[in-house]
Structure 1
């Protein structure tokens, strides 16, 4: 009887020792995850909103080009923390209207976004909110903030 309890206890410890992983649910063709679940033994890093570097007097890049610049900057910031886009669980995208058209270009933003998320190289997709605003700072057309997670060290 003691041997049975010892075996059950050992199996329970072994099962509990396995690290839980982040899970993502949603339609495969969708650009975002419907829900992302993060286990309790992960820490969350919050990255502030990022804008493209726009210089006064120079032509203003379109939304797709600005989104690419912003995502490249975020890629660098994530890397400084030992993270990648695969670790991003939540994204907030703020779009402003282009002065030339008066419309926010969500199509251009999504073209750039899909080069970084939901690809063969990086299949993870975050949950995401995309909001259209009346405007951003200066000629900026897109601002993006992300939350990323990683296992707590020692677990």
Structure 2
């Protein structure tokens, strides 16, 4: 019959053996998991402890006319369709990231909240994807990101069709 010490030691030895066989992740490493290279989104992103990470709050698009203040917008035509609003919103995220020393290639996760276009009564998923493809999986930025897309009943104003949150991570710079 095993002693109490042997009963405690056996599981610890098994754990130590598994831990030793598992490659250690580098501190601050960011791993993109993509088993299908044709997919436009990642399956997952692993961000190890020590990575430099930024969480970008939900961003909304700007009017098509950059000189027009949001308070002057009176129609959805002044904001554009879902594709145009996605491009505008991702451009804002790109600008925020750049002010903090990040790039769009550092983005690991996006959350898209898409409202139905009042002109069609439906969410334009294809338009959101078309806008997304202007920033990810391009010659300038070949990376893709883990992503979730939700259809929402409405956003904060009747002319908004999309809101996007972002998480970017990279190995720390020394």
SS in 1 for 2:92: helix
- In the alignment, which of 62, 70, 74 is matched to residue 57 of structure 1? 74
In the TM superposition, what whole-angstrom CA distance separates every residue of 1:73-125 from its partner, at most 9, and x where no partner exists?
Answer: 11100000000111011110000000011101010010110111112221111
Determine if the alignment matches structure 1 residue 31 to structure 2 residue 48: no
Larger Rg: 2
Mapped to 2, the partners of 1:53 and 1:20 lie a distance apart of 34
Name the CA distance, whole Å, in 2 between partners of 1:114 and 1:82.
22
Cα drift, residue 153 of structure 1:
4.5
CA deviation digits over 1:28-56, x for unaligned, max 9?
A: 11111001112222032110000012442
Q: Let me know the Cα RMSD of the aligned residues.
A: 1.8
Is structure 2 residue 76 aligned with structure 1 residue 89?
A: no
Corresponding residue number in structure 2 for 1:21: 29
4+ long deviations beyond 4 Å: none
- Tell me the residue number matched to 2:136: 117
Q: Distance in 2 between matches of 1:103 and 1:69?
A: 20
- Structure 1: 5+ residue runs without aligned partners? 1-15
Q: Normalization by structure 2: what TM-score?
A: 0.73
Shift of residue 126, structure 1, vs aligned partner: 1.2
- What is the alpha-carbon distance in structure 2 between the residues aligned to residue 142 and residue 50 of structure 1? 9
Change (3 A) 1:79 1:34: same
Report how many aligned residue pairs link the two structures. 138
The aligned counterpart of 1:104 is 123
Q: Which residue of 1 aligns with 2:55?
A: 46
